[in-house]
A and B are shown apart, each in its own frame.
Chain A
């Protein structure tokens, strides 16, 4: 069958099972947009290419399937660099297609030419400049294979205009869809290891059986490997507490008695401290990020480490593991559970951990999350708004967030009882992530309710995508925790820069969020009093034909606690807001 490169590209995406492309056309990618008209693939026309990238990420977060974005060359390609980096840091499977100037013009500083491959090399798992129409199906298959296997990540294909342009003889190709073997043979240097070394797994089992104070340190890899139920089996079998990192919220149910919630800079006291005091950390798909470890040399000083990760480069990157296991988290945990079960059935017994469990319960009782409720007439407490949102939405509601204080409060106060319900930017910490990511999530899971909790600063970075959502009738709901500040930066200035506030004030009503929402085709609301919070949320929940934005006026002086100041040991965790007052580094 003879096709043009453009037809082959769209057909290849169809062959990969793509149902949605987030994108925006332009000169170099124009030829590909023509056969798109005849394809069943849904295209969502974004208002800024950064939005396309984050939507693709949100889609991938909740479905586990790769998100796809398509944009033109030059400025469009540079606009999507942030989402690529975000997806790279958080191991999100994504395929981005960029237009490029015709092959003959590459390197001539042609109109809208940029070195997309060079620019995105360090923020993609792989990228390729496709130079012939005949190569397109192979390139697409490889891109999806690389994006979704091993440690997932973003892959970019740069497509010069001449190889897709129906009017150019260079775009003629004979359709052929590569089989699995030829994909394998075409990637001789790409062989992710998924099965753990059985000898290491037995070593891990022995360490677990001999430890008195074990803690499971579950990371985003659990979700990527679809290992949540395997994790639960392991935790329950050995009766071991679990911390879920910012990327792993929902990987183990918050309501489970063994769940300690989020560790790290703004983690629960019990999560942070049980890691600090443990004698064995079982790191599963986590990467010893600085936001979790605090000052590395003082992190969990007495703990032996079992580290399971599909990426061998993570093992020993930050902390030398006693038992390193390269492999897919689900496969390795299942093997580990089998070995442990056999040992336990054979009469093996772990040391008595009653005292340790008692200690953890004590920490949980003594240091729960807390905040001072607002007095009458005071601004809303952000934590109160989150509790209301949590309690007035379904148990499997998907929540996306931006980056800042509101993100930490969401992670702290939400109750995540299901995997794939938390969509956030962890590694890169990208302000502006929430609105487009929530839209992508709703496209991927139209059956689920999707809320975004956003900051006023973040909202202003990508709010234009609500126009996309209104036009496409994607009914996401946005709660802006409007504290009129770049709140997280303000918190650092208050605590570590002697309250010298530099360039953090934003104003509560410039812009007017309600009017802005309405102008974008959304329902806009403003809430200032605690007694209005619940009814506003319920009203938003009932709206199903357009997006809703609620401007919650929150207390700017509220700070996120607990907190381990940057660069400090996790032993120096500040729990009591009063102690944080006027805290100087």
Chain B
């Protein structure tokens, strides 16, 4: 979960500076969905810096929150590809403010015994 400098994505497609983005992906709570989502990033050589899966108030839906290191243009493409996954319901990019909060919550969670 480092926030240090990262090498550019190995796909060579992007020349824009890499940036951190935080995505909230609402998915159907079904087996294998996390692998589908993570697989789309892996296939393009994008590094996932942090990732959390949590239930939502609706037990049929889970939220996957991902922090990724991608320039904006390829990110747009991955988000469109994600949206095509049959089990993906919604994708939001979270604002930097929400980003800080996420890091804090995640750290607190990891430091607790939960």
Taking Cβ atoms with an 8 Å cutoff, the residues of A that contact B are: 117-118, 121-122, 125-126, 129, 146, 187-190, 311-313, 316-317
Assembled-state Cα–Cα distance A121/B35 (Å): 9
Q: Let me know if A311 and B84 touch, CB within 8 A.
A: yes
Q: Let me know if A122 and B43 touch, CB within 8 A.
A: yes
Residues of B within 8 A of A317 (CB): 77
Q: Do A189 and B77 form a contact, CB below 8 Å, given A118-B35, A312-B83?
A: no
Chain A CB within 8 A of B50 CB: no
Assembled-state Cα–Cα distance A317/B74 (Å): 9
Known: A146-B86, A187-B86, A313-B84. 12 other contacts (CB 8 A): A118-B35, A121-B32, A121-B39, A122-B43, A125-B86, A188-B28, A188-B89, A189-B27, A189-B85, A189-B86, A311-B84, A313-B80
Chain A CB within 8 A of B56 CB: no
Assembled-state Cα–Cα distance A317/B75 (Å): 11
Chain A CB count within 10 A is highest, among B39, B76, B84, B89, for B84
**Contact code string B65-108 (vs A, CB < 8 Å = 1, else 0):** 00000000000110011011111110000000000000000000
14 residue pairs bridging A and B, Cβ less than 8 Å apart:
A121-B32, A121-B36, A121-B39, A122-B39, A125-B86, A129-B31, A188-B28, A189-B27, A189-B85, A189-B86, A189-B89, A312-B83, A313-B81, A316-B77
Top-3 shortest CB links A-B: A313-B80, A189-B89, A126-B86
Residues of A within 8 A of B27 (CB): 189
Q: Do A313 and B77 form a contact, CB below 8 Å, given A126-B86, A129-B31, A189-B87?
A: yes
Residues of B within 8 A of A117 (CB): 32
Residues of A within 8 A of B86 (CB): 125-126, 146, 187, 189-190
A151 to B, closest residue via Cβ? B84
Residues of B within 8 A of A190 (CB): 86
Assembled-state Cα–Cα distance A122/B81 (Å): 11
B33 to A, closest residue via Cβ? A189
B41 CB to nearest chain A CB (Å): 12
Assembled-state Cα–Cα distance A146/B87 (Å): 12
Assembled-state Cα–Cα distance A18/B55 (Å): 39
Residues of B within 8 A of A118 (CB): 35
Residues of B within 8 A of A121 (CB): 32, 35-36, 39
Residues of B within 8 A of A125 (CB): 86
Q: Let me know if B28 and A189 touch, CB within 8 A.
A: yes
Assembled-state Cα–Cα distance A127/B76 (Å): 24
Chain B CB count within 10 A is highest, among A118, A189, A316, for A189
**Contact code string B21-32 (vs A, CB < 8 Å = 1, else 0):** 000000110011
Assembled-state Cα–Cα distance A69/B76 (Å): 35
B36 CB to nearest chain A CB (Å): 6
B42 to A, closest residue via Cβ? A122
Assembled-state Cα–Cα distance A117/B31 (Å): 11
B76 to A, closest residue via Cβ? A316
Residues of A within 8 A of B32 (CB): 117, 121, 129
Residues of A within 8 A of B31 (CB): 129
B20 CB to nearest chain A CB (Å): 22
A142 to B, closest residue via Cβ? B86
Residues of A within 8 A of B36 (CB): 121
Chain B CB count within 10 A is highest, among A118, A188, A311, for A188
Residues of A within 8 A of B81 (CB): 313
Assembled-state Cα–Cα distance A312/B91 (Å): 14
Assembled-state Cα–Cα distance A380/B101 (Å): 72
Assembled-state Cα–Cα distance A313/B36 (Å): 17
Assembled-state Cα–Cα distance A398/B40 (Å): 37
B57 CB to nearest chain A CB (Å): 16
Assembled-state Cα–Cα distance A146/B85 (Å): 11
Residues of A within 8 A of B43 (CB): 122
Residues of B within 8 A of A316 (CB): 76-77
B30 to A, closest residue via Cβ? A128
A311 to B, closest residue via Cβ? B84
Assembled-state Cα–Cα distance A316/B31 (Å): 32
Assembled-state Cα–Cα distance A118/B81 (Å): 18
B88 to A, closest residue via Cβ? A189
Assembled-state Cα–Cα distance A190/B88 (Å): 8
A188 to B, closest residue via Cβ? B89
B84 to A, closest residue via Cβ? A313
Residues of A within 8 A of B84 (CB): 311, 313
Assembled-state Cα–Cα distance A118/B34 (Å): 12
Assembled-state Cα–Cα distance A189/B33 (Å): 12
Residues of A within 8 A of B87 (CB): 189
A547 CB to nearest chain B CB (Å): 39
Assembled-state Cα–Cα distance A316/B80 (Å): 10
Which of B28, B35, B80, B85 is in CB contact (< 8 Å) with A312? Answer: B80
B85 CB to nearest chain A CB (Å): 7
Assembled-state Cα–Cα distance A317/B76 (Å): 9
Assembled-state Cα–Cα distance A242/B84 (Å): 30
A118 to B, closest residue via Cβ? B35
A40 CB to nearest chain B CB (Å): 31
Chain B CB count within 10 A is highest, among A187, A313, A316, for A313
Residues of B within 8 A of A312 (CB): 80, 83
